[in-house]
Structure formats: C-alpha cells, structure tokens
Amino acid sequence: MILNASGCLDALEAPEVARALDVFVTKTVTPQPREGNRPVRIAETEAGMLNSIGLENPGIDALLADKLPRLAELGVPLWVSVGGFAASDYAELCAALDDRPEVTAIELNLSCPNVEEAPESASDIVTAARPQTRKTLYAKLSPAATDLEETARAVQSAGADGLTLVNTMRGLALDERTLQPRLGRETGGYSGPGLKPIALAAVFQCYRATGMPIVGIGGISTGRDVLDFLASGASSIALGTILFADPDAPGRVRRELAEELASHGLSSAEAATGLAHSSGPVIVA
C-alpha cells in the first residue's frame, strides 16, 4: 500500500494526488485548534528540508464536522493522525473518532519534534488510547528514541496494531549571510533523502523485534527506495517530502516498484517484505 506521510499532502487542495494513493492520512489533529509555530516554518537544505509547522490544525471538532465528510467523498480509505500533550488527549481523540465510519485507522503521532510532547511514554499513551477505539491503531515513532526496539515492543504490548516509522529528526539550518537560524523556531524536523538510512534501520530493527505491520517513511522518492523499505520489513510505505516536488510521485513510484519487483523475480510487494532478514522476525511473546 502507498500512503502519504501525515502533513505532506492536503487532499482537499489536491484530490487527484490523494486518489492516486491507497490510503490518505490526515495532518495530525489535536483536541483544540492550533495556529502552529511562527514563520519561517519551512527551509530547504542541501539534501531534504526542515519544517517547524507545529501541528497547525483546525482541532477535532472542525475535522469531524467539516473536513471528514469532505475527505470521505474522495473515495480513498482514510487514516486520521492524532496528537496531543497528555495521554488523555490521545484517549479523547480516539473516542471521538471511534464511531466515524469514514475512518479506517488512527495513527498516534507520538513523535513531533516541533511541539512540546506529552510527558507520558509512548506505551502509556497507547495504553490510554487503546480501550477508547475499535479502530486499527498505528503508533508513529521517532527515530531518535534511545531504545527504539524497546519502545516498539512496549507499544505492541500496550495494544498497537502497527508501527509507522519514522517521523522527522531535529535539524538546524543557518542563513548563509547572517548565520542566524533560518526557521522562526530555530530548529525543525528534518525530512527527505538523508532520513532514508535512518528510517531503514528503524524498520529493520522494529520488524525483527515485533513482527508488526510497519508503514515505512523517510526519504522515499523512487520504486527502489520502496523495495528497500519492504525488504527491511515494511508492509506499506508513505510518501512525504517528495510530494512537494513531484505530485505525480504515487503513480511513478508504483510503476517503478512494479519494475523493481519484476527484476528481482518477486511476484508482489508482499513477497518482498522482510527479505533483508535471513532469520525472519523474532516474535517476542
């Protein structure tokens, strides 16, 4: 499955891009509306980009009343990304989405470098969210976690159904002339090609540690990138930064992946998942 990475596509502005995906993932929604961080909020770097959007969003009530019905008209399965500043925020958001038929799955954004994070651990948040919804729950983790495998196992035990790996990593870019930070918030989340090896390692380690379904994200721009993520253990992938430069990426990457699979004698994307693991995933009971 090809998804968009949360926050990297406005499906109502570009419905034809969203329809080229297997799933559309919303930008992270919080309980209350948020204006986000002060400008400048995007900076290009030598490779990839920095953003400090800061979870700008209309809040859950506006999403439910206005955006969700319009997104459902696209005819693409919808995942809603939720974020908050306490485990109770995530629980409240999951409860609010639980009986909405438009929503296929909920992604818990446990990892935004551009806002203060909930003080609870990732597994505490999943523990709070899990009983509030019957929907499929994905936990989106940061590649900067000190022990990512341990975190992955903990969210699995807490009831997550899958992992989304990875979110951005904190980065800094300076103005050439003034040597001042280019982003209004100084540091931001780094995304793009340089994230790929880091994301691949996260997918590889977490697949081995948990065997869970994984959405691989990080610097994907070609079919070959997708094949690398599948072989490392991803069952799906999401396109992020590439969508800003190439809105046709979903169709192109899909065609390139088909060629890559054929050239490796693989019958399907499923057949490629986990191939980099000679010993297969180690499932921890």
Ligand X SMILES: Cc1cc2nc3c(=O)[nH]c(=O)nc-3n(C[C@H](O)[C@H](O)[C@H](O)COP(=O)(O)O)c2cc1C
Q: What string marks each residue from 87 to 126 as x (binds ligand X by CB under 6 A) or -? A: ----------------------x-----------------
**Does the protein bind ligand X through residue 3 (CB under 6 A)?**
no
Query: What one-letter code names the amino acid at 62?
Result: A
The interface with ligand X within residues 134-163 (CB under 6 A) comprises: 140
Q: Which stretch binds ligand X (CB under 6 A): 3-11, 84-92, 129-137, 250-258?
A: 3-11
Q: Sign of torsion, CA 70 104 56 65?
A: positive
Least distance from C-beta 214 to ligand X, angstroms? 13
Query: Does 233 engage in binding with ligand X (CB under 6 A)?
Result: no
- Residue found under tokens 């485990």: 87
Sign of CA pseudo-dihedral 139, 60, 217, 53: negative
Contact 216, 203 (CB under 8 A): yes
Catalytic-residue membership of 112: yes
User: How far is residue 231's CA from residue 269's CA, in Å, rounded to a whole number?
Assistant: 9
The single-letter DSSP state of residue 206 is H
Among the listed residues 30, 167, 232, 273, the single contact to ligand X using CB under 6 A? 167
CB nearer ligand X, residue 6 or residue 123: 6
Cβ nearer to ligand X, comparing 191 with 235 = 191
Preceding peptide of 40 cis, ω within 30°:
yes
Site for ligand X in 6-35 (CB under 6 A): 6-8, 27-28
CB 255 within 8 A of CB 242: no
Give the nearest distance from C-beta 229 to ligand X in angstroms: 11
Residue 227 has φ and ψ, to the nearest 5°, of -60, -40
Which residue in the set 195, 230, 253, 269 belongs to the binding site for ligand X (CB under 6 A)?
A: 195
Q: Distance between CA atoms of 230 and 87, rounded to whole angstroms? A: 31
Write out the two tokens for 225. Answer: 């990138």
Phi-psi sector, 280: left (phi>0), alpha (psi -120 to 50), beta: left
Considering only 30, 37, 210, 241, the residue that binds ligand X (CB under 6 A) is 241
Q: Does 236 participate in binding ligand X (rule CB under 6 A)?
A: no
Number of residues lying near ligand X (CB under 6 A): 23
Whole-angstrom distance, CA of residue 93 vs CA of residue 30: 8
Single out the segment in contact with ligand X by CB under 6 A; choices: 208-216, 217-225, 227-235, 255-263: 217-225
CB 204 within 8 A of CB 198: no
Q: Does 240 bind ligand X (CB under 6 A)?
A: yes
Residue whose CB is less far from ligand X, 168 or 210: 168
Residues with active-site annotation:
112
Q: Rule CB under 6 A: which residues touch ligand X?
A: 5-8, 27-28, 51, 53, 55, 81, 109, 140, 167-168, 191-192, 195, 217-220, 240-241
